[in-house]
Every structure is written in structure tokens, then in C-alpha cells.
């Protein structure tokens, strides 16, 4: 009875399109709750608690308000929320009785291709988990694999009940966030920037060629654009991506042509340079945020970080 959760698309009338935040603010109480009440599984009381606090300027602020309601709830209500999540990988999965949405979610996580040994491992750990903690295992599996899930299960079985209770609530907040992103249109505030620093010379890396690809997510996949850094090591013309039409949840890849740059700088390079092109694969989880993904590099090493 291993439990997973899935994300549904909001359906307003016959449409399956994201709802603008401005439309959410105009809804009556019942429509408001029916629109976002399901982001916390079978627990519309969370949405009901925040109706009076509308309007919301962003999905980020809406999610925080809902999470605050859950976090301030008594323990017995949190426990009920944990146990409100459906059993999606137990008898229903084995008998092919899952909804189309949950079947798709489990398929993305690879749970429809478990080997006999893996299924036995899931069953054994699930039984141990419930025996130890007294509630079900919760994990946001949308971007996970079966191997990630198994590793997480093994690690979390070592936790105390208090720590694991808190982790389940944290996972539920993640699930709610991902569901909100499928239901609502984000605020038009997110953008992506970059900065390249030459750590060998202690200066900005000017005139370096960079390309950006979208590997997964909404929008066109593949090459998005090519850029050349300016004298300050930044992208000429501002952000590489900006606003809801360009900047969306997904996995992206910068590719930095560091070999050409260091050859231009007259750096001492091997016949076959140690670094030629440097790819950086990174994820965008909040389309309303500023993501700054820089590169600090020399001919023989590089690093990055999430800035803002």
C-alpha cells in the first residue's frame, strides 16, 4: 500500500487551461474552493481558510498562505491530511483500477515498470514504515524516478517519528505547489540571467559564446537562443528569458564555449584542452522568481550556484 500523489489540471467549464490570478480573485467562495481546494489532497479546509485573504499577487504568495494554514493546524488535523492521500501503488495499481491521471504520474516515476525484486522492496519498506511511524509514506513523485523513491524510502526509515511527520508535511507542500502550477497562471515576474567570471585572470569573461536549451517542460524544446557576453561578462540585452511566455518550469542547459574563450585570452592550453564546452543543466521550479545561474571558470575547473 505504497502511497503516491498525482497532479490534476484544473478544469473550468470545458477548459483545461491555467486560470489567471486575476480571475481567481473574482470568484465566489464556492468556485474559489472548487478551483484550488484539491491541491491539498481531499482537504478543502485549507482553501476555505484563505478565501477572505484573496486576492493574491502570485502563486508564491498563495502557496505560502495555504502552507501557513497547514503549518499552524493542530497535529491531529495534519495527521488526517497525511492519511487523506490515496493509495496509488497498492491493490488499486496492481488491479489496474487507477485513474488516468494517477496512472500517468506513476508511469513518469517508473512505478509501472517495477521488477519483482523492486516491488518486494517497496512492499517491505512500506510495511516497516507504517509499523514504525503509524502513518503513510508521502513523497512528491512528479520529477522522481523509482530509484530516487527507493533511496528516499530507505533513508527516511531511519528518521524519528517527529522528523518524519515534518517531512511528510514538507512533501505535501511540494505536491500542493506543483498542483497550483498546473491550475494557475503564474505572475509575470520571473526571469533568467547569467554572469561568467574568469577565475584564472580574476576578471569578467567577455566575448564568450553561450547557448541555452530547454530540455523538458512547457514550451518549445531544444535550442532557445545563443548569446555573447559583454565586457562585464553578462548577457548583452538583459535576461535570457523573461515573463510567462518564455520563462517556465522545466529543465534547461547552458553551454559555455570556454575553450574558445581561453584560447582567445592566450591561456596556456593542452593540445586537447581539458575544458572545451561546459554544460550546466539546471531546473526552474518557480516561474515567478529570478534565477541567476552563473559560471566561474578557469581552463581547468568551474563552479556554479543558484543566485537571485
Contact 166, 194 (CB under 8 A): no
> Quick check: is 63 catalytic?
no
User: 229: which DSSP letter?
Assistant: B
Q: How far apart are CA 183 and CA 37, in angstroms?
A: 11
The three cell numbers of residue 149 are: 523513491
Three-state secondary structure call for residue 163: helix
Q: Give residues with Cβ within 8 angstroms of 119, minimum separation 6.
A: none
Three-state secondary structure call for residue 133: helix
CA separation (Å) from 88 to 3, 5, 32, 259?
5, 7, 27, 49
CA separation (Å) from 74 to 69, 83, 120?
10, 15, 35
* Active-site residue (options: 63, 85, 147, 292): 85
Strand pairing category for 184-185 and 19-20? parallel
Contact 236, 228 (CB under 8 A): yes
The three cell numbers of residue 207 are: 566575448
Q: Any idea which residues carry the catalytic annotation?
A: 85
Amino acid at each position: 500500500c505504497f502511497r503516491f500523489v498525482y497532479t490534476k489540471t484544473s478544469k473550468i467549464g470545458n477548459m483545461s487551461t491555467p486560470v489567471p490570478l486575476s480571475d481567481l480573485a473574482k470568484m465566489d467562495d464556492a468556485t474559489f474552493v472548487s478551483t484550488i481546494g484539491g491541491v491539498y489532497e481531499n482537504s478543502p479546509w485549507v482553501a476555505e481558510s484563505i478565501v477572505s485573504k484573496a486576492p493574491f499577487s502570485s502563486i508564491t504568495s498563495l502557496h505560502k498562505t495555504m502552507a501557513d494554514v497547514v503549518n499552524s493546524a493542530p497535529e491531529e488535523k495534519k495527521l488526517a491530511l497525511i492519511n487523506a492521500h490515496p493509495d496509488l501503488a497498492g491493490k488499486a495499481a496492481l488491479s489496474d483500477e487507477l485513474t488516468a491521471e494517477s496512472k500517468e504520474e506513476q508511469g513518469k516515476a517508473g512505478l509501472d515498470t517495477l521488477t519483482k525484486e523492486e516491488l518486494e522492496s517497496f512492499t517491505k519498506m512500506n510495511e516497516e514504515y507504517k509499523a514504525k511511524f503509524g502513518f503513510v509514506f508521502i513523497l512528491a513523485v512528479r520529477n522522481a524516478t523509482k530509484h530516487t523513491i527507493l533511496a528516499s524510502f530507505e533513508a527516511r526509515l531511519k528518521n524519528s517519528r517527529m522528523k518524519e511527520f515534518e517531512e511528510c508535511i514538507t512533501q505535501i507542500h511540494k505536491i500542493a505547489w506543483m498542483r497550483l502550477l498546473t491550475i494557475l497562471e503564474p505572475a509575470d515576474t520571473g526571469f533568467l540571467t547569467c554572469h561568467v567570471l574568469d577565475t584564472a585572470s580574476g576578471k569578467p569573461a567577455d566575448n564568450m559564446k553561450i547557448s541555452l536549451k530547454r530540455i523538458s517542460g512547457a514550451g518549445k524544446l531544444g535550442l532557445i537562443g545563443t548569446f555573447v557576453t559583454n565586457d562585464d561578462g553578462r548577457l548583452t540585452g538583459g535576461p535570457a528569458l523573461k515573463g510567462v511566455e518564455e520563462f517556465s518550469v522545466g529543465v534547461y542547459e547552458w553551454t559555455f564555449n570556454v575553450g574558445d574563450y581561453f584560447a582567445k585570452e592566450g591561456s596556456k592550453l593542452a593540445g586537447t584542452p581539458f575544458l572545451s564546452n561546459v554544460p550546466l543543466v539546471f531546473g526552474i521550479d518557480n516561474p515567478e522568481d529570478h534565477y541567476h545561474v552563473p559560471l566561474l571558470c578557469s581552463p581547468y575547473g568551474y563552479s556554479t550556484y543558484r543566485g537571485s
